[in-house]
Amino acid sequence: MPTGLRSQRCQTACAQQGLCFEVAGRCVAQAVADCRAAAECRAQGACSLGNEERCVALNPADCEASTACTEGGACDLDIDMGACVATASSCGKQAACLEKGWCGLQRRPQAGEHHCVAATDDHCRKAAICHAEGLCHVKEGQCVARTDADCGKATICKTLGRCVAIWDACQQPCRKQPDCAKRGLCVRDEEGGVCWATAAVHCQQSSDCTERGWCSLDHNRCIVGSNLDCFRARVCRKEGACRHWDGEAPGCYHPNQFKCDCPPKEGDGPAEPCPPGTGWGPMCDPRP
C-alpha cells in the first residue's frame, strides 16, 4: 500500500525511473505498475519494485527483453544487485556481437559495471561491421579501420568510394574530403592515419586562406602567419580585419579590436592613439 502521495514534482522521475510518489521530500517507487511503465524498465529491465522504494531488475525475462540486452549484452540477472548485467556468455549471444564485434566482456568491478566490447581482432573480423564498413581491428573495445586493404574489401568502398583508412574509419582520400578544400588538410600521415597539410600550397589553395587569411604552414596545419596573410584575405578587404595576431584566439583582426591602453610591443613602433570614443587601438592584444 503506498504511503506517499503522487507528486507533480516527481513527474520526470516517475516517467524515467518509476519514482512517482513523494515521501519526506524524496521521489520513491511504491507501485509495480509504475516500474513497468517507466523508461528504465524497457531500457535496463528494472521493472520490479525493490525493497528500497526503487525499481529494480528481479525477473530474467525483463532483462532479456531490455534494450540493455539487445544492444549491449546485459542479458543476465544479478539478483543481488537487482540489475541486468553482461556476462561472457551473454556477450557472445547478443546481436551486437554479430553486428559490431562486441563479443568480449569488459569488467569494471570498482564501478559495478560489466560491458560487452570488442576484445580481439577476431571479434571484429567476424562481425558484419568489418564486411560493411572495413572496421576489422580492435581499438579500446571498438572495431576500427586500420588498413586500406580492409577498407578496399568493404561494401562502403564499392558504394561510397571510402577506401582509405583515416581517423580509424574508411574514408575518401584526403584530397577528396571537405577539409582539404577548406583547411588544406590534403595529405595522409601514414603512421597516424590522419589528414595533414604538408606543403604551403595546401594552405594557400584553401578557402580558409582566401576567406580568413589562414595561408601559412606550421607543423602540418595552416595558420595566420603574418599581416600579409590577412591583407590577401576577403576578411581584410570586406571587414577591415587586416592585422595578424598569433596569441590566444589567433587570426586576422580589425585594428579597433586591439587594446591601446598598454605599451607598444617590441618592433611595433610608437603607440598609436585610440580611435575617438573607443578606448581601443591597434597596439596590444585583441579585445576580449
Q: What is the pLDDT of residues 91-101, one digit of tens each?
A: 988 888 999 99
Please give the angle made by the CA atoms of 272, 273 and 276, to the nearest 5 degrees. Answer: 150
| Paired sense of beta strands 169-171 and 164-166, if any | antiparallel
Contact 227, 215 (CB under 8 A): no
Looking at residue 38, what is its pLDDT? 97
- Give the position of cell 595561408: 215
- Average pLDDT estimate for 59-80: 89
**What is the rounded average pLDDT for all residues in the chain?**
87
The residue that leads in pLDDT, 94 or 219, is: 219
How is residue 204 written as a grid cell? 594557400
**Considering the chain, what percentage of its residues have pLDDT values greater than 70?**
86
217: pLDDT strictly greater than 80 = yes
> What pLDDT sits at residue 271?
57
How many Cβ atoms sit within 10 Å of the Cβ of residue 82? 18
Residue 136 predicted with pLDDT over 70: yes
pLDDT of residue 106: 87
d(C-alpha 237, C-alpha 24), whole Å: 66
CA distance 115 to 260: 57
144: pLDDT confidence band, cut at 50, 70 and 90?
A: very high
How far, in Å, CA of 117 to CA of 126, rounded?
Answer: 14
Instruction: Identify any residues that bridge with 106 across adjacent strands, giving them in sequence order.
Output: 115
Q: How far is CA 200 from the centre of its chain?
A: 30
Question: Looking at residue 270, what is its pLDDT?
Answer: 56
pLDDT by residue (tens digit) across 225-243?
999 999 999 999 999 999 8
pLDDT score for 278: 53
**Residue of 222, 142, 147, 135 lying closest to 191 (CA atoms):** 147
Q: What is the rounded end-to-end Cα distance, in angstroms, of the chain?
A: 61
- DSSP strand pairing (21-23 vs 83-85): unpaired
Out of 50-64, 81-95, 267-281, give the one with best mean pLDDT: 50-64
Q: Which residue has the higher pLDDT, 83 or 109?
A: 83
Classified as helix, coil or strand, 163 is coil
Residue 277 has a pLDDT of: 52
Question: What's at 74, amino acid-wise?
Answer: A
Strand partners, 164: 171
Q: Is 178 exposed, middle or buried (0-12, 13-18, 19+ CB in 10 A)?
A: exposed
What sign does the CA torsion over 58, 60, 66, 72 have?
A: positive
pLDDT of residue 275 exceeding 80: no
